Amino acid sequence: MKIDKAAIQKIAHLARLEFDENSAEKMSRDMSQILDWVEKLNELDTEHIEPLTTMSSEVNDMREDKTGKHLSHEDALKNAPKRDSQYFRVPKVLE
40/37 Cα distance (integer angstroms): 5
Digit-coded pLDDT (tens) for 38-78:
999 889 898 898 888 778 888 888 889 888 888 888 888 88
Domain locations along the chain: 5-41
Q: How far is CA 70 from the centre of its chain?
A: 35
Q: What is 5-41's CATH topology?
A: Histone, subunit A (1.10.20)
pTM above 0.85, yes or no: no
Does 37 have pLDDT greater than 90? yes
Mean pLDDT, all residues of the chain? 87
19/28 Cα distance (integer angstroms): 11
For residue 32, name the pLDDT band (cuts at 50, 70, 90): very high
Could you give the C-alpha distances from 45 to 3, 35, 42, 57, 73, in angstroms and in order? 26, 18, 8, 23, 60
23/17 Cα distance (integer angstroms): 11
Q: Cα 32–8–36 angle (5° rounding)?
A: 10
Three-class SS state of 14: helix
